[in-house]
Amino acid sequence: MAGDRVTPATISETVWEVDFYRRPRMDTTGQPLWELVVCDRARSFVFRDVCPQSLATADWLVDRLIAALGDPPQPPDWLCVFRPQSLSLIETAARQLGWPVEATRRTLALKDWLQRRAIESPLLDPATRQPYDPLAIDQPPPLPMPESLWGDRWQFVGLSAAELTNRLLPRPIPHGARPPELQPAALGLPPTTTIPGVAIEAARRSRLLAQWLDSVQPVALQMVAGQPNGLVLDAGLCDRWILTTFEDAEVQQAGQSFQQRKAASQGLHFLLVQPDDSGMTYSGLWLLQPV
């Protein structure tokens, strides 16, 4: 079955965003159809193909990923996958091709293409007869963070975009993630914009906490109002962690301000782990944004 490749054929990017999952469609024999969609981050090309469920294997994927290479072939440096149910199969296929795979929610070009196509060619979920959401992912209930890692003190904080860029980002901080596309200048934020954050002082546990955060891959923080209120970390492809709970009215007000500042900073915020509040040493810094 031939795939459809949108020109230009030459791939200008080295990162491919990939999805391979069952769609609410069937072939003539009644088998569910699986759809492969591949694009680069500039969306200068999109490759898609479908197969019946019986053919949805790593071998089929290898064949179609090779077909997506174009002429002359230009292999990607790595593949990015946002859907947990797709990850294992794509990893198996990519391993045969020698291509590394990154599990990440930040596949913005692919998600945009899938959403646009869902609007242009709507599908209905056969179970609910409701419009099919191509980005829907089941999320497990949030789990409590290991108590042995939690710090001695935490607080909602804020830095101007200029302070974050000039004072904090250049520091040699051993753990964390500060991708260029999430830095204030890349988002076009004025230097005076307040970037909200959460700072955790963990004393001797700061290194272990930073290592644990690296392992779960933080994505975004949010304050969840309730009895009690909670600070929840979205991480990995679909995980959620309860970092702490609180009932103090003053902390709740700071949390509401944190949420409001996120709305004013295009969702950009940060998580900082430090041994103490001296400002001399930091263990981890993550730039975060809901995806």
The beta-strand segments (E) located in 136-238 are 143-144, 153-160, 175-177, 194-201, 218-224, 229-235
Q: What is the pLDDT of residues 230-260, one digit of tens each?
A: 999 999 999 999 999 888 899 999 999 999 9
- Quote the number of domains for the chain: 2
Which pLDDT does position 129 carry in this prediction?
Answer: 65
Is residue 88 one of the residues assigned to a domain? yes
Q: Please identify every stretch of the chain with a pLDDT value under 70, giving residue numbers as ranges.
A: 1-13, 125-129
Is residue 125 one of the residues assigned to a domain? no
Which pLDDT does position 27 carry in this prediction?
Answer: 80
Q: Give the residues across from 176 on adjacent strands.
A: 285
Is residue 15 one of the residues assigned to a domain? yes
Residue 262 shares a structural domain with residue 174: yes
Q: What is the pTM of this model?
A: 0.86
Q: What's the CA gap between 41 and 194, in Å, rounded?
A: 29
Would you say 83 and 137 are in contact if contact means Cβ atoms under 8 Å apart? yes
CA 290 to chain centre: 8
Which pLDDT does position 1 carry in this prediction?
Answer: 40
Q: What's the CA gap between 166 and 160, in Å, rounded?
A: 10
**CATH (domain of 101):** 3.30.420.10
Helix (H, G, I), strand (E, B) or coil at 263: helix
